[in-house]
């Protein structure tokens, strides 16, 4: 730095200005802050946020002004958009056609703008969304709504400023007779802030403006009765009023908007959902149709068979979603709301420029700002008209004086050599109207009073007006025309002065103009405001309470069917088919429950899900139903190990007993699982490398038997396991040796003794009475204590292989054996020989070389044989592989 350069004084508040050839040291943080703030405010004011008075951004305002300059009124021919864009860019907005044309297009698209400002002709895009054609192909003119925005623009109602190159002037705001910001809303992203203002119904807004004028102290609840909520151009349903009330009170809120979906049925009896309206700012194809197709491919919307877009200009929007047979339309509709843009959230952020500063405004504030703007417009318009009337009255006054003394006026003019000399002589001449003058009776008293006592000197304006008189106007009858015009102007002047002197008259004029706007353009509301909040849809309220048969297959397919579908048969009847299954699947569990009962689904990761029975799709008797993964949100590789129907969580001493592969057991009260949310709940806190084997419900006095892969088994009383909390890990149920693991657990009710069937991976198995798992002593038999090594159940050796499953059976039980390679064999339990503990068992099935047995399950009855007239739910309801029944 040279010697002449000195750093700025730290005490100085003003940054030092460098002279030519000098440099100034500035703190970079301060310079960046100042520059960024300057840029931010420029973006906020000149680009992104609307003015609260006319609801327009500069680009929108300039397009309308340019169209007004081109006289593209509604009655004129449409003009090429390229010309409109060029005029706007040339005179007002030098930011390129890529910024101007999309803005023009948006003001012409009826799915984006509630009350159009541009009347379009040509391809302006679609809600699909298709892009508009190039501006050289499209045409436009002003819509009637835009004319209302520009009315009185030339009457000095708003301020004008020079344009970017100071060749013409442009208005800073439009008079905006139409309450544009309230009825069309606005969106924009600035620096550090954004606005998202919803559109409203014009008729409701007009009524609210009148109500606010009549009662400036009107409360928000009264305005909410007039304006219940937004009115989007695409219709839809706003769910709940809480977000609306918050937004209208403080300028910020969130509302949930749903599509309007109707249920229809085809001639063949298939159900279909028809989308008639969609949420605001949502595209039909890219946003909705494509999303539904993706979810179908991902097997998340398996009840949808096809989707067809039948929309057209004649029928409007009509997207048909065809459902598979047996699908519940209400359930699918709810899934669509949850997983697709057919339900979305619209954030209301009412930020607009007030006197050039961004402010967050509530509904009443927005209405009041519009009223304030219109008061200013009406006053300035009245002042302009008053000024014009006064000028014209002043000119006519001079003409009246001249006609009353026309001979003298002609003499003065003829005696003058030049025009200027004549004007000067007229200005120097004093005029009077004597009482005896022939025209005196016709002269207004206002002029007589001016000319009775003193001579009236003409002004230059009056003298020049006399100079422009034509000879024909000097006839006697001209005085009558002049006096009539003068009287009319005086009346106008008095009217205008009265308006300016009385603020209430200004408000009355605003009310009259608002009533006129309402009468011209008000239309019915498009968006419905529902009282129910989103997510509060109670399918239970839509589902009658009835008894149904629920069927669950080994592969996890579920369905429900009314009990009435299973007709009552005589004893010994053949029954009816309860489900159609594939070769690799079979019915594993059947139970009768109420549609309003709960179904707990426990997974191997220790989580539990709860669904209502009515959420299980109703399917025909011969259908296998829908996979449970479509109803609950399972993680990859997570599987359900236990289904448990529950009718009452508040039953007395009822518990759930859990067992893991590492030998841990846990007992928890059933009522602890009554509150399970849609995303699931931790049912047991598993340790690392542990998995849940199964869950039993117990009564508090039952015995529990655990079996392991190395052929050990332990039977203990359930109360050996103390009652724990829901998230507890549990205690040791069996002491495992080496790499041994628990493969199954069964409940043995008090006083009940059945057979325990155990099978191994090489296809061997045996039945053993459960009493043999008790410890015999001189005083009788007793179960073992929890946590022991257990007793030998079956011999595990090279011939048998490891144990793969165990369950309690009777002679009538039907079993399914599944191998690793997918072979399924169905056998009856009776032929399996009953032997003692510790034996090798007998061959149950022939397992091919290289294959092995992997699972064992009890087959639930899949027909509806009835004994006499007994109910279907009493005798033909099966149990699952752990012996679970309805708790």
What's the CA gap between 321 and 8, in Å, rounded?
72
**Is residue 284 within 8 Å of 312, Cβ to Cβ?**
no
Residues 877, 881: Cα–Cα separation, whole Å: 13
Nearest to 80 by CA among 56, 104, 59: 104
655 catalytic? Reply is no
Q: 851: Cβ–Cβ under 8 A, 6 or more apart, which residues?
A: 819, 820, 821, 823
Q: CB neighbours (10 Å) of residue 472?
A: 7
The rounded distance, in Å, linking the Cα atoms of 676 and 680 is 6
Strand order in the sheet with 842-843: 803-809, 755-760, 764-769, 842-843
Which tokens belong to 73? 């009124």
Based on its alpha-carbon atoms, the radius of gyration of the chain, rounded to whole angstroms, reads 44
Residue 212, helix vs strand vs coil: helix
> Which uninterrupted H or E stretch holds 594?
strand 587-594
Residue 536, Cβ density class (10 Å: 0-12 exposed, 13-18 middle, ≥19 buried)? exposed
Q: What are the φ and ψ backbone dihedral angles of 6, each rounded to 5 degrees? A: -125, 140
Q: What are the residues facing 784 on neighbouring strands?
A: 716
CA diameter of the chain: 158
For residue 113, the SS3 value is coil
Query: Catalytic: which of 92, 137, 566, 820?
Result: 137
278 burial level (CB within 10 Å; 0-12, 13-18, 19+): buried
Question: Which tokens hold the place of 740?
Answer: 């041994």
Six-digit token string for 487: 């009287």
β-strand pairing of 547-553 with 587-594: antiparallel
> What CA–CA distance (Å, rounded) separates 712 from 758?
11
From CA 296, how far away is CA 398, in angstroms rounded? 86
How far is it, in rounded angstroms, from Cα 80 to Cα 121?
Answer: 9
Strand partners, 238: 257, 529
Q: How far out from the chain centre does Cα 838 lie?
A: 65
Torsion of CA 727, 733, 738, 741, to 10 degrees: -70
Whether the bond between 164 and the residue before it is cis, its omega within 30 degrees of 0, is no
Distances (CA, A) of 848 to 131, 798, 826, 833: 63, 15, 16, 22
Write out the two tokens for 667: 């007992």
Intra-chain end-to-end CA distance of the chain, in Å: 90
Residue 279 · residue 258 · CB < 8 Å = yes
Catalytic positions: 137
């Amino acid at each position: 730095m040279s010697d002449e350069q000195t750093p700025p004084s730290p005490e100085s508040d003003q940054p030092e200005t460098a002279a030519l050839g000098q440099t100034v040291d500035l703190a970079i943080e301060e310079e960046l802050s100042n520059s960024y703030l300057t840029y931010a405010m420029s973006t906020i004011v000149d680009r992104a946020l609307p003015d609260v008075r006319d609801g327009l951004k500069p680009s929108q305002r300039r397009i309308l002004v340019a169209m007004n300059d081109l006289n593209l009124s509604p009655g004129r021919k449409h003009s090429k958009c390229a010309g409109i864009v060029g005029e706007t860019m040339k005179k007002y907005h030098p930011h390129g056609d890529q910024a101007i044309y999309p803005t023009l297009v948006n003001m012409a698209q009826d799915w984006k703008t509630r009350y159009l400002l541009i009347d379009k002709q040509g391809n302006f895009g679609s809600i699909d969304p298709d892009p508009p054609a190039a501006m050289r192909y499209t045409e436009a003119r002003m819509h009637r709504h835009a004319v209302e925005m520009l009315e009185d623009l030339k009457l000095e109602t708003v301020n004008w400023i020079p344009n970017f190159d100071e060749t013409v002037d442009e208005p800073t705001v439009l008079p905006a007779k139409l309450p544009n910001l309230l009825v069309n809303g606005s969106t924009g992203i600035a620096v550090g802030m954004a606005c998202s203002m919803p559109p409203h119904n014009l008729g409701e807004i007009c009524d609210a403006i009148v109500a606010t004028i009549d009662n400036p102290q009107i409360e928000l609840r009264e305005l909410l009765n007039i304006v219940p909520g937004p009115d989007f151009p695409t219709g839809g349903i706003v769910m709940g009023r809480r977000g609306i009330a918050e937004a209208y009170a403080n300028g910020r809120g969130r509302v949930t908007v749903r599509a309007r979906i109707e249920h229809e049925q085809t001639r063949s009896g298939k159900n279909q959902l028809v989308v008639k309206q969609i949420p605001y700012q949502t595209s039909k194809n890219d946003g909705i149709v494509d999303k539904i197709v993706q979810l179908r491919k991902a097997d998340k919307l398996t009840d949808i068979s096809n989707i067809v877009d039948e929309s057209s200009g004649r029928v409007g929007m009509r997207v048909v979603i065809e459902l598979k047979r047996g699908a519940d339309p209400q359930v699918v509709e709810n899934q669509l709301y949850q997983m697709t843009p057919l339900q979305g959230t619209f954030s209301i952020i009412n930020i607009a420029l007030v006197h050039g500063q961004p402010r967050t405004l509530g509904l009443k504030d927005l209405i009041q700002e519009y009223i304030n703007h219109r008061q200013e417009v009406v006053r300035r318009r009245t002042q302009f008209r008053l000024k014009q009337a006064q000028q014209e009255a002043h000119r006519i006054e001079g003409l009246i004086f001249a006609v009353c003394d026309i001979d003298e006026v002609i003499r003065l003019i003829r005696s003058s050599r030049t025009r200027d000399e004549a004007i000067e002589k007229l200005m120097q001449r004093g005029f009077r109207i004597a009482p005896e003058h022939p025209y005196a009776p016709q002269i207004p008293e206002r002029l007589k009073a001016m000319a009775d006592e003193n001579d009236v000197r003409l002004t230059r304006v009056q003298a020049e007006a006399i100079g422009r008189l034509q000879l024909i106007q000097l006839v006697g009858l001209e005085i009558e025309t002049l006096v009539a015009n003068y009287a009319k102007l005086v009346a106008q002047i008095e009217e205008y002065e009265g308006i300016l002197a009385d603020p209430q008259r200004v408000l009355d004029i605003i009310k009259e103009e608002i009533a006129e706007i309402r009468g011209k353009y008000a239309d019915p509301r498009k968006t419905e405001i529902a009282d129910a909040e989103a997510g509060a849809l109670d399918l239970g309220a839509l589902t009658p309470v009835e008894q149904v048969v629920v069927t669950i297959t080994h592969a996890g397919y579920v369905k429900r069917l009314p009990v009435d579908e299973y007709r009552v048969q005589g004893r010994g009847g053949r029954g009816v088919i309860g489900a159609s299954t594939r070769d690799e699947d079979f019915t594993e569990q059947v139970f009768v429950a109420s549609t309003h009962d709960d179904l707990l689904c426990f997974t191997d990761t220790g989580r539990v899900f709860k669904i209502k029975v009515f959420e299980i799709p109703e399917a025909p008797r011969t259908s296998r139903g829908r996979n449970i993964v479509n109803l609950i949100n399972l993680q990859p590789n997570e599987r359900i190990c236990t289904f448990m129907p529950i009718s009452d969580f508040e039953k007395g001493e009822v518990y759930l007993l859990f067992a893991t592969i590492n030998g841990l057991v846990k007992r928890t009260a059933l009522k602890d699982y009554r509150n399970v949310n849609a995303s699931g709940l931790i049912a047991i806190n598993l340790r690392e490398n542990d998995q849940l084997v199964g869950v039993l419900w117990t009564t508090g006095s039952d015995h529990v038997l655990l079996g392991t892969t190395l052929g050990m088994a332990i039977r203990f009383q359930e109360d050996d396991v103390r009652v724990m909390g829901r998230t507890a890990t549990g205690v040791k149920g069996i002491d495992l040796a080496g790499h041994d693991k628990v493969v199954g657990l069964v409940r043995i009710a008090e006083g009940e003794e059945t057979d325990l069937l155990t099978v191994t991976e090489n296809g061997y198995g045996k039945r053993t009475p459960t009493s043999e798992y008790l410890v015999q002593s001189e005083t009788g038999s007793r179960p073992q204590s929890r946590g022991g090594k257990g007793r030998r159940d079956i011999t595990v050796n090279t011939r048998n292989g490891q144990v793969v499953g165990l369950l309690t059976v009777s002679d009538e039980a039907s079993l399914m054996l599944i191998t690793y390679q997918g072979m399924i064999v169905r056998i009856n339990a009776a032929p399996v020989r009953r032997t003692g503990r510790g034996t090798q068992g007998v061959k149950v099935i022939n397992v091919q070389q290289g294959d092995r047995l992997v699972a064992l399950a009890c087959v639930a009855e899949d027909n509806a044989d009835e004994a006499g007239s007994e109910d279907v739910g009493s005798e033909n309801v099966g149990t699952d592989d752990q012996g679970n029944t309805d708790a």
